[in-house]
């Protein structure tokens, strides 16, 4: 089983601060996705990156896929209370059962006023 470790596991910050969440593995992935999950709901896809070194921006969120396609980071600029949630990375790899996703351990973010 390919493992994805996320750090930090918990993060509590004030509104307006910047933060970075990391997702690391010793395995190479064909794609890397980031999801956000709010209490009582399922994860919702934020972005997919597929090329080593790729950077994607979604408003205040910046996602980067490592050059070797083994790691990724999520940077949030000027965090808002609405960013609070559980952030999950997921690595995609092709198997006999199709394109399988392996999820990271999650980062619980709390943004306070």
* Chain positions contacting other proteins, by CB under 8 A: 1, 4, 6, 9, 30-31, 33, 35, 40-45, 48, 50, 88, 90, 92, 97-101, 103-106
Least distance (Å) between residue 110 CB and other proteins: 16
Least distance (Å) between residue 104 CB and other proteins: 6
Question: How many Å apart are CA 53 and CA 31, to the nearest integer?
Answer: 12
DSSP codes of every residue in 86-106: EEEEEEEEEETTEEEEEE---
Least distance (Å) between residue 67 CB and other proteins: 18
Question: How many Å apart are CA 91 and CA 72, to the nearest integer?
Answer: 10
Nearer to other proteins, 32 or 79 (CB): 32
Nearer to other proteins, 3 or 78 (CB): 3
Positive or negative, the CA dihedral 49, 54, 57, 60 is: positive
Nearer to other proteins, 10 or 59 (CB): 10
Least distance (Å) between residue 13 CB and other proteins: 21
Question: How many Å apart are CA 26 and CA 87, to the nearest integer?
Answer: 20
């Amino acid at each position: 089983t390919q493992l994805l470790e996320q750090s930090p596991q918990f993060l509590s910050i004030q509104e307006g601060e910047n933060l970075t969440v990391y997702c690391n593995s010793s395995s190479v992935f064909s794609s890397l996705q980031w999801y956000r999950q709010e209490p009582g709901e399922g994860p919702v896809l934020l972005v997919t990156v597929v090329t080593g070194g790729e950077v994607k921006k979604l408003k205040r969120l910046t996602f980067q896929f490592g050059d070797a396609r083994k790691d990724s980071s999520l940077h949030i600029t000027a965090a808002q209370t609405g960013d609070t949630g559980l952030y999950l990375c997921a690595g995609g790899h092709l198997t006999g059962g199709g394109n399988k996703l392996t999820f990271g351990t999650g980062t619980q973010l709390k943004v306070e006023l």
